[in-house]
Amino acid sequence: ATPTALMVGTGRGAQLGILIKGPEVLESTRRVDTVVLDKTGTVTTGKMTLLGVHTVTGTTENEVLRIAGALENASEHPIAQAVAAGARERTGSALPTPEDFANVPGLGVQGIVEGHAVLVGREKLLAEWEIHLPESLLTAKREAEAGGRTAIAVAWDGEARAVLEVADAVKDTSAEAIKRLRALGLTPILLTGDNKAVAEAVAAEVGIDEVIAEVMPEDKVDVVKRLQDEGRSVAMVGDGVNDAAALAQADLGLAMGTGTDAAIEAGDLTLVRGDLRAAADAIRLARRTLGTIK
């Protein structure tokens, strides 16, 4: 392609809300045949809400919200923010400050609240401490996930105490974006650390058939590599710190402009408005810009 055509392509990109790192990016954009999409914050808004609290006998909703909310208040994860906000709202009081706090990436949070050793996150996080959900909480978890909501387990002092239900909404532009990507001949794949049932519910809502779920943050990059080993040319769309390595590994990394700095730095393109339809626009633009000249 001529430098002029590339500059025109880059300028048109800016008008469409797509920031392109350099003209050479258009070349890889044109070749892409598979689009891997992160779920939370990319296909969905990432703005979660606490929808329900299920406790074991002998534990009150108020206790659960005070203790789990306090710990989550120390985390910036969208789920954590939803739990903390929901806890403040439902208890009508301020949350205590944890005496100790640590993030466990892809699994949840752990720490000390008012003298209790607390875990909040995936069932797998609790299992690492040999804490298992009783039948009543397993049922609550299954029902939440069948409905497309994420179930968060709460334990303290060695016992599972509750399951919290959180959910975020699919962006109203996502289904249209998937349709446009398919129209360009691309195969969409949903990739997430979240539960398989939740991922499948979201995928069905936006028209994606292929789901890779329950992937640890550090393993997202391996999923991209595996697809590349199969001979695919892979675009990855993501917003989180945990998407950065996969964005860098992909033949084309598209970062949500509404996402983290780490994702934006790792990507080749930024979708400024966080609108997934711009991903399809970028690919069409690259094909047009380069196609007309060759």
Q: Residue 253 binds which one of Mg ion, ligand ADP, none, with CB within 5 to 8 A depending on kind?
A: none
Minimal distance in Å, beta carbon 29 to ligand ADP? 24
The entry of Mg ion, ligand ADP, none near residue 149 (CB within 5 to 8 angstroms by kind) is none
- Residues 270-275: contacts with CB under 8 Å, at least 24 apart: 270/18, 270/19, 271/17, 271/18, 271/237, 272/17, 272/18, 272/19, 273/17, 274/171, 274/239, 275/17, 275/171, 275/173, 275/177
Q: Reply yes or no on whether 239 is catalytic.
A: no
* Residues engaged in binding ligand ADP (CB under 6 A): 38-40, 72, 75, 77, 79-80, 106-109, 120-122, 150, 152, 192-194, 217, 240, 242
To Mg ion, the closest distance from the beta carbon of 3 in angstroms equals 36
Which residues contribute to the site for Mg ion (CB under 5 A)?
38, 40-41, 239-240
Choose between 148 and 240: whose C-beta lies nearer to Mg ion. 240
Q: Exposed, middle or buried, 143 (CB in 10 Å: 0-12/13-18/19+)?
A: middle
Closest by CA to 278, choosing from 188, 207, 176, 205, is 176
Query: Closest approach of Cβ 38 to ligand ADP, in Å?
Result: 6
Q: Of these residues, 38, 168, 251, 281, which one is catalytic? A: 38
How near is the Cβ of 105 to ligand ADP at its closest, in Å? 7
Query: How many angstroms separate the CA atoms of 95 and 163, rounded?
Result: 19
Based on CB atoms, which residue is closest to ligand ADP, 25 or 163? 163
Return the closest-CA partner of residue 17 out of 288, 277, 243, 237.
277
Of residues 250 and 290, the one with the C-beta less far from ligand ADP: 250
- Least separation in angstroms between residue 285's CB and ligand ADP is 27
Beta bridge partners of 170: 44
44 vs 38: CA distance, rounded Å: 9
Residue with tokens 């710990």: 71
274 binds, among Mg ion, ligand ADP, none (CB under 5 to 8 A by kind): none
Q: How far apart are CA 149 and CA 169, in angstroms?
A: 10
Cβ-based nearer residue to ligand ADP, 39 or 171: 39
259 binds, among Mg ion, ligand ADP, none (CB under 5 to 8 A by kind): none
Query: Which residue number, 41 or 69, has a Cβ lying nearer to Mg ion?
Result: 41
In this structure, what DSSP letter does residue 241 have?
A: G
Which residues are tagged catalytic? 38
